[in-house]
Structure 1
Amino acid sequence: MSIKDKNIIESPLDSTLQEDLENTALNDKVPFDKLKDSIILVTGATGLVGMQMVKSLAAMNRLKDANISIMALVRNPEKAKSIYGDLADRGDITFVQADLNDKDGIMSSVKSSLDSIRESENKGDAPLYIIHGAAVTASKMMVEMPVETIDTAINGTKNMLEVAREFGTASFVYISSMEVYGSFTEATYVTEDKMGYIDPLVVRSNYQLTKRMCENMCIAYAKEFDVPAKIARLSQTFGAGILPGENRVFAQFARSVMNGQDIVLHTKGLSEGNYCYTADTIRGLLTILVKGENSNAYNISNEDTHTTIAGMAKFASETLAGGKIKVVFDIPEDNKFGYAADTKMKLSNTKLKALGWEPCYGLEDAYRRMMASMKQLNI
């Protein structure tokens, strides 16, 4: 692999994110020895987690001479160029253009890129790792375009499992969500073997139900075709480097604090939130990729950041904004905003910590780092 210019850093316009990427690359608990000289395919590479995964791997190449060939699967190459800038030309990232719903297109594009890397970089025996993170994440789209949301989840995951089956993989991680657990009527400490209720007659449930189906599809491919699949159940993930247009609750609260505007809640905010800083999540995914057991699921969550939505709004208004803004409730009669049903759960991270992972950033640090990044990027 040739890095044309090692002076091209991963996020030149965002010093906070750059610090995160370099800290991840140099973290002594990241299973670097298994990743060195490998090929890693990341889907959803223009999303928050996928982008930071790609850039973290690139930082490993620059700082630790990891010689990782990074394959970033994207649907929109123009969006990818806007996110990666000059990094796209550094030499260690190959952008694979494909639509997750198009099996033939994915297989052809991946094969072409994989063959080129193995030949040009002399990596005929290099292990291939796959991190599948592409998915619809906007609640509004889940409500307004539920069929497309389902198709992207089911078809995309099946097609990526077929890639793993066809080309072989040392490890496959499917990025799932805490929403897979559904709702609990009583406060519940949720380990990976517990499941709550999901109402299939609610259109917004398509996201939760397809996550369950995709997880089971991973288990099916592991059982029938020996695909070494693992599942990462992410809590609400945020931090430095959030993308323009991000409108999930953490970004809304941050903008309210930065702009000195009251926080407006469209629910009572009783749902309990489980959060994790993005850099901690990236390290968790790499830990699962290398150390996780096949056909197992792992929560990636920082238990110390657990709070209700209303509690986090209060924290933002009082701690982050110094009491200069307040929390206002404006609750519509119907769920026109597409919010998930209230749930009362605290995600356990015991299983992942047993693999050697530890979260580094609490809720205040996570917010302040994210807001510093947002200010620098003017988003």
Structure 2
Amino acid sequence: MSFTRALVTGGSGFLGSHLCESLLRDDVDVVCLDNFATGAAANVTHLAGQAGFTMLEHDVTRPFEVEGEFDLVAHLASAASPPDYFGLPIETLRAGALGTANALDLARAHGARFLLASTSEVYGDPLVHPQPETYWGNVNPIGPRSVYDEAKRYAEALTTAYRREFGVDTTIARIFNTYGPRMRPDDGRMIPSFVCQALTGQPLTVTGRGDQTRSVCYVDDTVRGLVALAASGHSGPVNLGNPDERPVLALAREIREVTGADVPIRHVDAAVDDPKRRCPDISLAKSVLDWRPEISFSEGISRTVAWFADGFAEQVSLH
């Protein structure tokens, strides 16, 4: 399955901007729709002059129409980091509910393939390890993280209902922790926090004892998986993540080593409902997409640190 024109909601965000870039490289025209609530215009400024790229500022939770035909609608619009969805709880729920419905309606009207960017958070604090797509999850529906978790779970249910009721060609990607260039310094997620703390000479703050695990995937690998899933015709859900599981404390130590920072690691209170273990079973992605991560953590984190370091150097030179 190939595409000629795509709509990417949340296209100016960290992951969305990389997806826009990838599609353009594949000669797919892209309309990037974003209200910049958590994304940044700077993430797609370098695409603005390219033929086939259009930026549309709009809130996906409000109905919209876009001129021209589409054969792919990729719905990535949502707050994705804890500080963002804690600060924008209602907006996050609306992006998962109203935003998903509006994006699905557009896909239905155009007969387009619909790709939902869901999350490993649908598994909550998992009781099954590693997590396969058949696992239903262990989610607190009224906890502080629930605005994001339940928004995505509802989005999955709505996407599946449109497929069953209206025959919309849909698929669902369950994305595990992804990192890389264009993450915001104040994103609040683990890797940008550790990198920025190290580069600015601050202690690296690890929640709890740091024995909780994460499996982190470099953004190029995640985007390659999204494109493969969109083109596959598979309905999903499909896990996209790196099964290289590491304790958070070990990740902090490796980032400190890569940056060369002589800073301590400081332990702070554990976050409420923070998953103790998180690791994808990617057997399905391997079999139906022929996809697996290719970029090692050492390579990916070196690229990420270099990107953040360049940004800090630029800020210093401006002052």
**Paired residues, what number?**
311
Taking the aligned partners of 1:343 and 1:83, their CA distance within structure 2 comes to 32
Taking the aligned partners of 2:207 and 2:23, their CA distance within structure 1 comes to 38
Aligned partner (choices 35, 51, 65) of residue 91 of structure 1: 51
**Bigger CA radius of gyration:** 1
Taking the aligned partners of 2:105 and 2:303, their CA distance within structure 1 comes to 38
Taking the aligned partners of 1:251 and 1:80, their CA distance within structure 2 comes to 16
State the one-letter code of the partner of 2:80: T
User: Per the alignment, in what secondary structure is the counterpart of residue 33 of structure 2?
Assistant: strand
Preserved CA contact (<8 Å) 2:83 2:188: no
Taking the aligned partners of 2:250 and 2:273, their CA distance within structure 1 comes to 17
Preserved CA contact (<8 Å) 1:240 1:373: yes
Taking the aligned partners of 2:260 and 2:54, their CA distance within structure 1 comes to 45
2:309 corresponds to 1:369: no
Give me the TM-score of the superposition, normalised by structure 2: 0.89
2:35 corresponds to 1:75: yes
2:242 corresponds to 1:302: yes
Q: How does 1:245-260 map to 2 (within 5 A)?
A: 245-260=186-201
2:95 corresponds to 1:157: no
State the one-letter code of the partner of 2:242: N
Aligned partner (choices 275, 278, 285) of residue 216 of structure 2: 275
State the Cα distance separating 1:197 from its structure 2 match: 1.4
Aligned partner (choices 19, 25, 31) of residue 59 of structure 1: 25
- Structure 2: segments with no counterpart, 5+ residues: none
CA 1:152–1:193: 2 relative to 1, 3 Å: same
State the Cα distance separating 1:142 from its structure 2 match: 2.6
CA 1:58–1:377: 2 relative to 1, 3 Å: farther
2:105 corresponds to 1:172: no
User: Per the alignment, in what secondary structure is the counterpart of residue 139 of structure 2?
Assistant: coil
Taking the aligned partners of 2:233 and 2:286, their CA distance within structure 1 comes to 11
Aligned partner (choices 294, 298, 309) of residue 360 of structure 1: 294
Farther off after superposition, 192-201 or 83-92: 83-92
CA 1:172–1:320: 2 relative to 1, 3 Å: same
1:320 corresponds to: 258
Taking the aligned partners of 2:99 and 2:273, their CA distance within structure 1 comes to 23
Taking the aligned partners of 1:321 and 1:99, their CA distance within structure 2 comes to 38
User: Per the alignment, in what secondary structure is the counterpart of residue 216 of structure 2?
Assistant: strand
CA 1:245–1:92: 2 relative to 1, 3 Å: farther
Q: How does 1:16-31 map to 2 (within 5 A)?
A: none
User: Per the alignment, in what secondary structure is the counterpart of residue 346 of structure 1?
Assistant: coil
What per-residue deviation string (whole Å, max 9, x for no partner) do you get for residues 125-165 of structure 1?
Answer: xx611111010113124334422221121110111011111
State the Cα distance separating 1:184 from its structure 2 match: 2.5
Aligned identity (percent) is 25
State the Cα distance separating 1:345 from its structure 2 match: 3.5
Preserved CA contact (<8 Å) 1:302 1:359: yes
Taking the aligned partners of 2:158 and 2:138, their CA distance within structure 1 comes to 20
Taking the aligned partners of 1:236 and 1:370, their CA distance within structure 2 comes to 14
1:140 corresponds to: 83
Taking the aligned partners of 2:144 and 2:184, their CA distance within structure 1 comes to 27
Preserved CA contact (<8 Å) 1:182 1:195: no
- Structure 1: segments with no counterpart, 5+ residues: 1-32, 61-65, 119-126
Preserved CA contact (<8 Å) 2:30 2:54: yes
State the Cα distance separating 1:45 from its structure 2 match: 0.8
Give me the TM-score of the superposition, normalised by structure 1: 0.76
State the Cα distance separating 1:172 from its structure 2 match: 1.1
Farther off after superposition, 130-139 or 268-277: 268-277
User: Per the alignment, in what secondary structure is the counterpart of residue 174 of structure 2?
Assistant: strand
1:34 corresponds to: 2
